[in-house]
């Protein structure tokens, strides 16, 4: 079992930055992929980014955030991060951390473990 807790959300102006963190616990290792998803009001939960246990093993981003968001991880601290730069009002959403996908990592259904989410609001 894995427990995930997100933090770092808040209110920011368009063009600003936020750094989200997701702390994992419940396992003796951190050797599994981690993903970020988001859900805007009235919308489906959508893929944002994913990172493999080995940073050289693969990092992928949704086209909507590519070039603005950066996913990273610190395996020694069991933590994954999402650095969000040049934020737009369209980025306003609840952001969710997820772990250990099986199959298509862009699908929420592929992930077994989820955090409760952290709100990101970008004002224009």
pLDDT in tens, 35-65: 999 999 889 999 999 999 876 669 999 999 9
* CA 93 from centroid of its chain's CA atoms: 12
What gap in Å lies between CA 93 and CA 29, rounded to an integer? 30
Record the tokens describing residue 28, joined without a space. Answer: 């003796």
pLDDT in tens, 55-91: 666 999 999 999 999 999 998 898 999 999 999 999 9
pLDDT band at 5; cut points 50, 70, 90: very high
pLDDT in tens, 31-41: 889 999 999 98
According to the model, what pLDDT value does residue 55 have? 64
């Amino acid at each position: 079992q894995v427990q995930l807790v997100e933090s770092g959300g808040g209110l920011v102006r368009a063009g600003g930055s936020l750094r989200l963190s997701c702390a994992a616990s419940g396992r003796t290792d951190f050797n599994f992929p981690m993903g970020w998803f988001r859900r805007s009001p009235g919308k489906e939960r959508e893929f944002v980014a994913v990172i493999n246990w080995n940073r050289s093993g693969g990092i992928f981003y949704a086209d909507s955030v590519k070039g603005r968001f950066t996913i990273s991880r610190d395996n020694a601290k069991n933590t994954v991060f999402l650095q969000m730069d040049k934020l737009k009002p369209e980025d306003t959403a609840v952001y969710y951390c997820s772990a250990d996908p099986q199959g298509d990592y862009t699908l929420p259904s592929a992930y077994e473990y989820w955090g409760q989410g952290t709100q990101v609001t970008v004002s224009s």
